[in-house]
Amino acid sequence: MDKAEFIKLLQKQEAGKTSPAEDEQIDSQWQALHEQQAAFVWTAGNQKEVRDRIKAGLDAKMIAGSQRTYLYSHWWKVAAILLLVGLGAFLAQLVEQPSAEPLMVVQQTNGEQRKRLSLPDGTLVILNVNSQLEYPEKFPSAGRKVTLRGEAFFEVHREEDRPFTVSSPQLETRVLGTSFNVQAYGDFSEMVTVSTGLVEVTKREKREETVRLQPDQAAVLTPGNRPLAIQQVDAARVSGWKASKIIFDKLPFDEVVQRLRDYYHRDIILENYTVQQDCLIKVSYENSGIHFILSGLKLLVDFDYRENEAGQIKIHFNSCNNP
């Protein structure tokens, strides 16, 4: 039975029109509320309504006398239950009982995939590889908060009265409506980069340490007990991983490898490489995972690679095939 059905039954009972089965339903619902096992919680308005109904019912039955004996005894039965626990304490318990915790949604990616998500408020999120985002199925009126481990790009739907907060392992990022990138892969440094709008970043363990960022600025927290630093960056390049293509525009092979490290957050070791002045890589690939791209690069560069059980990739450079 939901709240609306219960109130409707109370109204029907007050008018003396309930059946014995419906009276039993009401008795069961009162007991469930007493034992905090009801399927709903009540607001202050419900509290007042029930209190008024109890009082009105008792008064009416004392006037009506024996003409409505059952209903009179039933209301006294309800009153007796309330008196056992204390009317004030019981009703306060109904009001103060917190609403059910919102259902949480968890979105994850592996080392080869990305996800594009739309949150309940209309905020767009692009989740990078090896990342996890947790958020409520419905944001409460007090604010919008999500928890991130890994990397994600946010385009936040603007709501003046409900700030949007991203909680990562070491930082808390707070905005009203803007676009920004959060990089928080646990053991590594954390970085928040702003593309548009204004962003406030706070160190979680030292909340007085807060910085405010403008576009093309990043808040960087490096391992160790170091202060939160602001750096000038190219925001488009930092968040370039979210594009559908990876473009290498006349880059030496060691810079290509570095770009792959940044895009996929993988431990990649380049062996046997010396700078090749005439070996510049100009190519674009669909952003379909690191193994897909390495296979394509082997057509331009002669190298071998292997991945160990820990996920580390070792590339052994042989020569450049690019004319």
Tell me which of 49, 67, 96 is where a domain ends.
96
Q: Does the pLDDT of residue 147 top 50, yes or no? A: yes
226 lies in the same domain as 253: no
CA distance 197 to 199: 7
Neighbours of 142 (CB within 10 A): 9
The values of phi and psi at residue 196, to 5°, are -140, 155
pLDDT band at residue 68 using 50, 70 and 90 as cut-offs:
very low
Are residues 110 and 227 located together in one domain of the fold?
A: yes
Among residues 174, 227, 182, which one has the least CA distance to residue 198?
174
Six-digit token string for 232 = 């000038």
Q: Mark which of 79, 96, 113 sits at the end of a domain.
A: 96
CATH number (domain holding residue 129): 2.60.120.1440
At residue 39, does pLDDT exceed 70?
A: no
Which of these three, 212, 238, 264, is where a domain ends?
A: 238
| Integer Cα distance of 178 and 199 in angstroms | 8
Written as six digits, the tokens of 130 are 């090896």
> What is the CATH number for 252?
3.55.50.30
| Cα separations in angstroms, 264 against 72, 119, 246, 256, 268 | 73, 24, 11, 12, 10
Number of domains in the chain: 3
Average model confidence (pLDDT) across the chain: 80
State the residue range of the domain holding 115: 104-238
Q: Do both 86 and 123 map to the same domain?
A: no
Which span out of 29-33, 51-55, 183-187, 233-237 was modeled with the highest average pLDDT?
A: 233-237
Q: Is the pTM of this model over 0.75?
A: no
Answer yes or no: do 187 and 216 share one domain.
yes
Same domain for 231 and 110, yes or no, is yes
53 and 11 share one domain: yes
Residue 61 pLDDT = 47
Indicate whether 142 and 225 sit together in one domain.
Answer: yes
